[in-house]
Chain A
Amino acid sequence: EPEVTQTPSHQVTQMGQEVILRCVPISNHLYFYWYRQILGQKVEFLVSFYNNEISEKSEIFDDQFSVERPDGSNFTLKIRSTKLEDSAMYFCASSDRRETYEQYFGPGTRLTVT
Chain B
Amino acid sequence: AQSVAQPEDQVNVAEGNPLTVKCTYSVSGNPYLFWYVQYPNRGLQFLLKYITGDNLVKGSYGFEAEFNKSQTSFHLKKPSALVSDSALYFCAVRDILEDDKIIFGKGTRLHILP
A binds B: yes
| A positions within 8 Å CB-CB of B | 4, 6, 31, 33, 35, 41-45, 48, 55-56, 58, 91, 93, 95, 98, 101-108
B34 close to A56 (CB less than 8 A): no
Q: Is the CB of B43 within 8 A of A45?
A: no
Given A43-B90, A105-B45, A107-B42, A58–B104 Cβ distance below 8 Å?
no
Asked whether A41 and B106 contact (CB < 8 A) given A101-B94, A105-B44, the answer is yes
Least Cβ–Cβ distance between A50 and chain B, in angstroms: 9
Provide the bound-state CA to CA distance between A35 and B94, in Å: 14
A33–B46 contact, CB under 8 A? no
Contacts of A33 in B (CB 8 A): 101
Cβ-defined contact, A44 with B100, below 8 A: no
Starting from the known contacts A48-B99, A105-B44, A105-B46, 6 additional A-B residue pairs (CB-CB under 8 Å) come to A33-B101, A35-B104, A43-B107, A45-B101, A56-B101, A104-B46
B111 within 8 A of A: no
| Size of the chain B interface, CB-CB below 8 angstroms | 23
> How many angstroms from the CA of A103 to the CA of B92 in the assembled complex?
11
One of A44, A56, A102, A106 near B104 (C-beta < 8 A): A44
Cβ–Cβ < 8 Å partners of A44 in chain B: 104
Compute how far the CA of A108 lies from the CA of B41 in the bound complex, rounded to whole angstroms: 9
Indicate which residue in A4, A93, A98, A102 contacts B49 across the interface (CB closer than 8 Å).
Answer: A102
Would B99 and A91 count as touching, CB distance under 8 A? no
Given A104-B46, A107-B43, A108-B43, A55-B90 contact (CB < 8 Å) = no
Task: Chain B residues near A35: list those with CB within 8 A.
Answer: 102, 104
B-chain residues with CB within 8 Å of residue A45 when the two chains form the complex: 101-103
Look across to chain B and name the residue whose beta carbon is closest to the beta carbon of A43: B104
Contact B102 A106 (CB under 8 A): no
- Verify A42–B99 contact, CB threshold 8 A: no
